[in-house]
Amino acid sequence: MTGWLGPLLVERAIRLCWLAPLAAVGLFILVSNAPVDPIEAYVGARTALIGPEQREAIAAAWGLDQPATTRFVLWVRNVASGDFGDSILYNAPVVTVIMDRFPASLLLVSLAWLLSFVIGTGLGIVAAMTPGSRVDRAIRAYAVVLTSSPGFWVAIILISIFAVGLKMLPSCCALPPGTTTAEATFWAQGRHLILPVVALSVTGIAPLVLHTRARMIGFLESPPAQHLTAHGASQRAIAFGAGLRHALGPALTVHLAGAGELFGGSILAETVFAWPGLGQATVRAATGGDAPLLMGIALATLLFVFVGNMLADIAARLVDPRLRWDKSR
Amino acid sequence: MPICVWVLTIIIGLTTAVSARDIVVAIGGEPDTGFDPVQGWGDYGSPLFQSSLLKLDADLNIVGDLATEWTLSEDKKTWVIRLREDARFSNGTPVTAEDVAFTYNTARDAGGLVDMTVLREARATGPLSVEIELTEPRITFIRRLTTLGIVPQSSYAKDYGRAPVGSGPFQMVEWREGETLIVEPNPYWFGGEVGFDRISFIFGDEDAAVAMARSGEAQLVAVPPSQADDVPDGMYLIEVESVDNRGLMFPMVPATGETTQEGAPIGNDVTSDRAIRVAVNQGLDREALVALALNGHGKPAFGPADDLPWDNPDAHIPGNDIAAAIETLERAGWLDNNGSGLRKKDGIPAQFKIVYPAADSVRQALALGASKQLKALGIDAQPSGRSWDEIPRLMHSNVVVFGWGAHDPSEMFNLYSSNKAGVATFNPGFYANAAVDAAFAKAEAADGFEASLPHWKAAQWDGTTGFGSKGDAAWAWMVNLEHDYFVADCLDIGRVQVHPHGHGFPITSSITDWKWTCE
């Protein structure tokens, strides 16, 4: 039964072994050549009050007085012993900075992922049941509109309708303003999740709708489906019965593989909703030239996307038994 | 269906009503490194958790905070300070001279955003008396005394910024980084009662903050000028004057082919002529620039420190006087003989570029506006949008739109002293005037801050020379930004200081006077 799982994991482990160092070198070259002066970015509005001697002291405190290659070798040596260094921007260990923010982002991304999966496949199946109908056309039009709407724009529209206009849902933060984590109720936290999750889920819905729809139409027109129809099964029973398993596998693969994109979208959503996740820290690290943090976040994201893709492959094999015997690769 | 109704009821029922003694403010200002004064926290606005030796009142006068007496020694290199007896940290331990000395010495060595390079050593000379010794006379060091918050020696550690303990008006309840800071009054604060049981600071982008004002979730919000005219119900707009200024920096020396160490060319043959610089100062219609670039939310600027105690109004020339500007140019030999609309002198056309950071819409509008206005004088100033990476290479030989503004006269020293010529972005135009340098030296060596003010003013204009527009006209200052806030009708934020460069957190300088005026 699981004879296929072992080789798959081994193959992926080998891939990670060359992918991660390659990504690290590429990233470091990008970061150290980026036209951002970390000290100037750090000093910011205080530029009139920080003299050149103090700038040198800051550079020395950050190790920026060393040449780039020395810094990279030092970084690799530290990472090999499990030390990802300190974020210069946050003045705290990189691992702490990431671990403080990752849960909030993961919650947002996974809920958005689930929501878009349910909505995307659901709409796709409904559209496929009556191709060419008004419902089908409305759903496809919706998908096209969503594809062409940037996530942050949707976020701003949602805020102006539900927060400013109707005053129904909060526009910001993970908790009601003025309450501490200990004081906040479960429902209060839930309310704050609604708008960010909806805004973020938009990115993933459209491709799923179109993909599921195409797969489902293909199935409904196939001999097995016609056979079931001939036996009196309704369109709905076929679509949500035998058809579901047929369309769900590929949809899951597409959606898990798109998890990285969702992670990228969360950067914008987090900024708009002041969500205390990793997305905001990424933007600050990039604009502030915080190399250690940026490298840490990039490697964490790499791992996240990598695991997402691996889960996609495993899920596809679980849902569709035919793939398990595919030894061609 | 019943479940939907149930969920909806809960959602609507939970729309939080903030009680009168709790307020939510969205004014940015989150320090990434945490609330550690040694790393630079507390420079603008209230340090919240800490108190400093001295502080600035609403009129920018220096008054005592932790210090009850402060005197400068005969050689002007040592501050002798006596501390108040009743100051305690929020953990209940008293503030001692040891804590003060520890804070200053740690800040000097920290490599953070506090420039303490002039500090030799701080020493506790008794339980409540401290001596702070400098390497040379430097009166503007008093600015450090007004901003550096004191940290407790016994509990200061690397993670202090995330769990600050200080002797200021507030203590931290929770900081969710990137989202919210919640503070409550420090029961041990020596200043008395604070008007609120809890203040929450919401971070995030400007649009989110304005949305919170419109949905009634926040009671004080920093608002960009473009949105300031649309005030939400139940709030009023306050417009705070600032020295957050923008001006044209002129290269002061002729182009001789000389370059900096990095190879950036130095000098400009047109702007090195004083007549051109004075004419620009005389010709600019700053009111029109305020209307154009700031949507009317600002005021004309004439010097680097308008309306601050060290500003010298006599150094300014009023501007918007095209006739006077043309006369200045004609008298200096800048003539338009062929009617082309472009003046020339000795074959050199009155032509230069105005470089501005392309991503900054305000500076772009100022560059375009100034260029248009100067055309009427027969000066061809071409706006040129560049990135911040290119500007350091261009700023020694081109006019650049820069912005400054601080509660510290040493900024003038940085901009106009010959010591700072070509150093970082200070004095990029290589301005040098021995009389100005001498005035700066006298100011820094003054007996006290009050006594230094006439020297700062003399550097601008002493009756015969100075860096101000009446003298060498080394810059043409254009506008001072105005910082706008939406404030709830029931919130009284007291008198507000003239703001420095930086919109948002400086509003908290009066935070301990804030009051809720409704029941």
> Does a structural domain hold residue B35?
no
Alpha-carbon radius of gyration of chain A: 24
The per-residue pLDDT for B366 is: 94
Please tell me the distance from the alpha carbon of residue A257 to that of residue A255, in angstroms, as a whole number.
5
Q: What is the DSSP string of B226-237?
A: GGTTSPPTTEEE
Residues B288 and B393 in one domain: yes
Q: Which residues of B touch A275 (CB under 8 A)?
A: 178-179
Residue B360 domain-assigned (yes or no) = yes
B40: chain A residues, CB-CB within 8 Å: 46
Note whether B240 and B485 are within 8 A (CB). yes
| Domain match, B135 and B206 both | no
A54 and chain B: CB distance < 8 Å anywhere? yes
Is A169's Cβ below 8 Å from some Cβ in B? yes
Q: Considering only alpha carbons, which residue of chain A is nearest residue B212?
A: A171
> In A, which residues are within 8 Å of B116 by CB distance?
54
Local confidence pLDDT in tens for the 519 residues of chain B: 345 444 444 444 444 444 447 899 999 888 888 899 988 888 777 899 999 999 988 888 899 999 999 999 999 999 999 999 999 999 999 999 999 999 999 998 887 777 888 999 999 999 999 999 999 999 999 988 999 999 999 989 888 999 999 999 999 999 988 888 999 999 999 988 888 999 999 887 777 888 888 888 899 999 988 888 889 999 999 999 888 999 999 999 999 888 888 888 999 999 999 999 999 999 999 999 999 998 899 999 999 999 899 999 999 998 899 999 999 999 999 998 888 889 999 989 999 999 998 888 889 999 999 999 999 999 999 999 988 778 888 999 999 999 888 888 988 998 999 988 888 788 999 999 999 999 999 999 998 899 999 999 999 999 999 999 999 999 999 999 999 999 999 999 988 888 887 777 889 988 998 999 887
Check A177 against B18: CB less than 8 A apart. Answer: yes
Q: What CATH number is attached to the domain comprising B12? A: 3.40.190.10
On whether both B23 and B76 belong to a single domain, the answer is: no
Q: Which of A173, A179, A195, A293 to mutate to test the interface with B (most CBs of B within 10 A)?
A: A173
- pLDDT of amino acid B428: 92
> Do residue B488 and residue B435 come from a single domain?
no
Does residue B333 sit in the same domain as residue B350?
Answer: yes
Q: List the single residue in A92, A177, A288 with the smallest CB-CB distance to B180.
A: A177
pLDDT reported for residue A2: 59
Per-residue pLDDT of A13-31, as tens digits, reads: 888 888 888 888 888 888 8
Question: What is the DSSP code (8-state) at residue B315?
Answer: G
A164 vs B215: CB contact, 8 Å cut-off?
yes
* Within-domain flag for B460: yes
pLDDT reported for residue A325: 64
A61 touches chain B (CB under 8 A): yes
Q: Say yes or no: B356 and B476 in one domain.
A: yes
Residue B438 is part of a domain; what is its CATH number?
3.10.105.10
Q: B362 to each of A128, B207, B249, B359, B481, how far by Cα in Å? A: 52, 18, 16, 9, 10
Q: Does A173 touch chain B (CB under 8 A)?
A: yes
Q: How many CB atoms lie within 10 A of CB A51?
A: 18
Beta bridge partners of A184: none
What is the pLDDT of chain A when averaged over all its residues? Answer: 82
Domain assignment of residue B276, yes or no: yes
Enter the pTM of the model.
0.80
> Are both B477 and B491 inside the same structural domain?
no
Taking CA–CA distances from A268, the nearest residue in chain B reads: B205
Give me the pLDDT at residue B277, please: 95
Residues B471, B500, single domain; the answer is no
To the nearest whole angstrom, how far is the Cα of B456 from the nearest Cα of chain A? 16
Out of B113, B218, B423, name the one closest to residue A177 (CB): B218
Residues B195 and B257 both lie in one domain = no
pLDDT of residue A46: 64
B262 CB within 8 Å of a chain A CB: no
CA B332 to the chain's CA centroid: 37
| pLDDT at residue number B119 | 92
Q: What pLDDT score was predicted for residue A47?
A: 65
Alpha carbon of A5: minimum distance to chain B alpha carbons (Å): 40
Q: Take residue A230 and report the two structure tokens written for it.
A: 């001939």
Record: contact A181-B174, CB cut-off 8 A: yes
Per-residue pLDDT reduced to its tens digit, A162-171: 887 887 888 7
Residues B299 and B409 in one domain: yes
Which residue in this structure is represented by tokens 């969503």? A146
Q: Provide the domain count of chain B.
A: 3
The full set of domains in chain A, from first to last, is 2-93 (no CATH), 95-325 (1.10.3720.10)
Calpha distance A270→A152 (Å, rounded): 9
Alpha carbons B238 and B240: distance in angstroms, whole number: 6
Would you call A35 and B389 a contact, using CB atoms and an 8 Å cutoff?
yes
- Residue B36: count other Cβ atoms within 10 Å of its Cβ: 27
Q: Output B342 or A245, whichever has higher pLDDT.
A: B342
Q: Do B487 and B473 fall within a single domain?
A: no
Q: Is B358 on the interface with A (CB under 8 A)?
A: no
Average pLDDT over residues A6-17: 85
Which bin fits B466, alpha (ψ -120 to 50), beta or left (φ > 0)? Answer: left
Contact list, A43 vs chain B (CB under 8 Å) = 113
Kindly state the DSSP code that residue A165 receives in the 8-state scheme: I
Which chain B residues have a beta carbon less than 8 Å from that of A45? 44, 501-502
Give the span between the Cα atoms of A217 and B357, in whole angstroms.
54
Q: Does B34 touch chain A (CB under 8 A)?
A: yes
Cβ-based contacts of B387 with chain A (< 8 Å) = 35
Residue B186's domain comprises: 3-30+177-242+483-516
B206 and B75 share one domain: no
**Is the CB of residue A171 less than 8 Å away from at least one CB of chain B?**
yes
**Separation in Å, CA of B178 to nearest CA in chain A:** 5
Q: Tell me, yes or no, whether B38 lies in a domain.
A: no
pLDDT value for A310: 84
Give strand pairing partners of B351: B380
B502 contacts on A by Cβ (under 8 Å): 45
